Amino acid sequence: MKFKISDSPSSYLIIDFTKDEKIITEKGCLIYSDGEYNFENKIEAKGYKNLLALLGGKSLTYAIYTAKEDLKMTFSTKDTSEIFELEINNNYPILFNPSNHFSRSYRIETKPSGLDQDLFIKTSGSGSLFLKYYGKVIEKEINSTKPIYVNVDSVIAYEEKLDVASVGGVMKTLVSGEVELYKVSGQGKIWIQSKDKIVYKKE
């Protein structure tokens, strides 16, 4: 499976499939296909962690596309977000915000990490993970015991080996009016979006 992501803004994902290759995507994101394919629903809401992850933006069901022949398919997000790719392997698990999930290789497995990691989704396996973002992606390489502080709404994903902890908590945020922050230290990469999700109001 080969892929290309078009330039932003308004980026879209182009995938060249060989017969029987599969992709998992958010539902309703297919733009077009130049060949025949099979479609099925994938339900990922089993277990209490998955149910809790729905509160964090995780989808209840996903679409699985299987190529019935060599073909090209194009996918786009359903809002104003852009797309980028992370290469996943078992040696470097990634934790990502469920609301930023867009698509992934069929060989990548995901599971909620639990309340201790704010219900981020953990990867296993290998392949391409396609995430959506707002504004620009800032990739930071952390290699220090001195922490950086990141707005919780700005974190797209980070390597599991990083030490990431909430600062202040929700109640303190409500009282002070300040944004809730993550304290990030250790050695690894974190991916940050420069804007929060853009919501347009109807007139």
Q: How does pLDDT run along the chain (203 residues), one tens digit per residue? A: 999 999 999 999 999 999 999 999 999 999 999 999 999 998 765 544 444 444 444 566 889 999 999 999 999 999 999 999 999 998 889 999 988 999 999 999 988 875 555 679 999 999 999 999 999 999 999 998 889 999 999 999 999 999 999 886 544 444 345 678 999 999 999 999 999 875 544 44
Cα Rg of the chain, angstroms: 18
**2-133 has which CATH code?**
3.60.160.10
CA-based nearest residue to 93, from 125, 57, 133, 128: 125
Question: Which residue ranges does the chain devote to CATH 3.60.160.10?
Answer: 2-133
Could you tell me the pTM of the whole model?
0.85
E strands, 68-105, where? Answer: 71-75, 82-88, 94-96, 101-105
